[in-house]
Amino acid sequence: MKFAIITGASGGIGRAVAERLAAEGWSLLLIARDGARLSQLRLELGEAYPALREQIAWLALDLTALDAMDELLSYLGETQQTVDLVIHAAGCQRFACLGDQDDSAMEQQLALNLRVPMQLTRSLLPVMAPGSTIVTVGSTFGAIGYPGFSVYCATKAGLHAFSEALARELGPDGPRVCLLVPRATATELNHGAVDAMNQALGTAVDSPARVASELMQLLASRQRRRFIGWPEKFFVRLNALLPWLVDRAIGAQREQICGFATIRPAARQAPVLPTEEKQS
CA-closest candidate to residue 13, choices 227, 203, 193, 181: 181
Query: Which CB, 174 or 203, lies closer to ligand NAP?
Result: 203
Q: What does the alpha-carbon distance between residue 133 and residue 238 come to, in Å, rounded to a whole number?
A: 30
Question: Which residue has its beta carbon closest to ligand NAP?
Answer: 11
Q: Determine if 13 is a binding residue for ligand NAP (CB under 6 A).
A: yes
Q: Which of residues 229-248 bind ligand NAP (CB under 6 A)?
A: none
Contact 113, 154 (CB under 8 A): no
Cβ 155 vs Cβ 110: under 8 Å: yes
- Closer CB to ligand NAP, 39 or 253, in the complex: 39
In terms of CB distance, is 52 or 61 closer to ligand NAP? 61
How far apart are alpha carbons 26 and 20 in whole angstroms?
A: 9
* Stretch in the footprint of ligand NAP (CB under 6 A) among 62-70, 98-106, 118-126, 214-222: 62-70
Among 5, 18, 63, 72, binds ligand NAP (CB under 6 A): 63
Q: Residue 214, interface with ligand NAP (CB under 6 A)? A: no
CB of 234 to ligand NAP, least distance (A): 17
Q: Is 62 in the site for ligand NAP (CB under 6 A)?
A: yes
Which x/- pattern, by CB under 6 A, does the window 120-139 give for ligand NAP?
-----------------x-x
Could you tell me the smallest distance in angstroms from the CB atom of residue 183 to ligand NAP? 6
Task: Provide the 8-state DSSP code for 279.
Answer: B
Is residue 9 within 8 A of residue 15, CB to CB? The reply is yes
Backbone angles phi, psi at 221, to 5 degrees: -100, -175
Q: Which is nearer to ligand NAP, 174 or 191 (CB)?
A: 191
Which residues from 64-93 bind ligand NAP, rule CB under 6 A? 64, 89-92
How far, in Å, are 95, 255, 261 from residue 102 at the CA level?
12, 21, 14
E strands, 22-118, in order: 27-32, 56-60, 83-88
Sheet holding 27-32, edge to edge: 56-60, 27-32, 3-7, 83-88, 128-137, 176-181, 225-227
Per-residue x/- mask for ligand NAP, residues 171 to 210, rule CB under 6 A?
-----------x-xx-xxxx--------------------
Closer CB to ligand NAP, residue 83 or residue 184?
A: 184
Pick from 35, 160, 17, 7: nearest CA to 92? 7
Which of 5, 21, 32, 154: binder of ligand NAP (CB under 6 A)? 32
Please give the residue ranges that form the binding site for ligand NAP (CB under 6 A): 7-14, 32-34, 37, 61-64, 89-92, 112, 137, 139, 182, 184-185, 187-190, 271
